Chains A and B, each alone.
Chain A
Amino acid sequence: GESVGLHLPTLSVQEGDNSIINCAYSNSASDYFIWYKQESGKGPQFIIDIRSNMDKRQGQRVTVLLNKTVKHLSLQIAATQPGDSAVYFCAEGGSQGNLIFGKGTKLSVKP
């Protein structure tokens, strides 16, 4: 299977609990942030994005929070399900379109 999960921080949660995955970004000039989900053997999948002029954005079962003061991004997953098990990583981008990706956090959901 996919070896991308090796040596990653791991978050283990019980099914039905809420999950919070954190990300520290590096460039204070970044104006766009994206969360991706990557399941074993698959390509990264877009989850949700947020612009730097916002501090919160909600999607279906997911919420992203942005704290520009401390350059911190978090992804909250409500009522975590076994299908949420994956590696999650954030990406930051600027006006030129290129993204810089974090190394990711492995989410493990216990039934």
Chain B
Amino acid sequence: DAGITQSPRHKVTETGTPVTLRCHQTENHRYMYWYRQDPGHGLRLIHYSYGVKDTDKGEVSDGYSVSRSKTEDFLLTLESATSSQTSVYFCAISESAGLPIQFFGPGTRLTVL
């Protein structure tokens, strides 16, 4: 987890409220990713970024938006949280597309009641 922090680490919220999760890196890596991890599904890509202000959708992007205004920060927003978004969220970073080893943060456990 060195060089990658996520905040908050745990959050409980209610259906319909907006939620923002933050990923912060100190490695100056170009690529950043948001995944969710659920039993029986493994890691699924939500959104990713290939540079400041450059983002794209992943496999399960519905209901999520992202922003990256600085190299070091990648924000994931749930505009109106639903119970199906209860999950563990991981941020990951990688240096380049040609060397796609991704390093993961410690995760955020989100519960939507």
Q: Are A44 and B104 in contact (CB under 8 A)?
A: yes
Q: How large is the interface on A (under 10, 10 to 19, 20 to 34, 35 or more residues)?
A: 20 to 34
Q: A95: which B residues are within 8 A, CB to CB?
A: 97-98
Q: Are B100 and A99 in contact (CB under 8 A)?
A: yes
Q: Are A103 and B41 in contact (CB under 8 A)?
A: yes
Q: Count contacts between A and B, CB distance < 8 Å.
A: 60
Flag A85-111 by CB within 8 Å of B: 1 or 0 each. Answer: 000010101011111011110000000
Q: Are A2 and B106 in contact (CB under 8 A)?
A: no
Q: Are A6 and B101 in contact (CB under 8 A)?
A: no
Q: Is A7 on the interface with B (CB-CB < 8 A)?
A: yes
Q: B52: which A residues are within 8 A, CB to CB?
A: none
Residue of B nearest to A93 (CB): B100
Q: A97: which B residues are within 8 A, CB to CB?
A: 31, 50, 94, 96-98, 100
Q: Are A98 and B48 in contact (CB under 8 A)?
A: yes
Q: Which of B90, B96, B101: most chain A Cβ within 10 A?
A: B101
Chain B residues within CB distance 8 Å of chain A: 1, 4, 31, 37, 39-43, 45, 48, 50, 58, 88, 90, 94, 96-98, 100-107
16 contacts between A and B (CB under 8 A): A3-B39, A6-B40, A7-B40, A36-B104, A42-B1, A43-B4, A43-B104, A43-B105, A43-B107, A49-B101, A95-B98, A97-B31, A97-B94, A99-B100, A101-B42, A103-B41
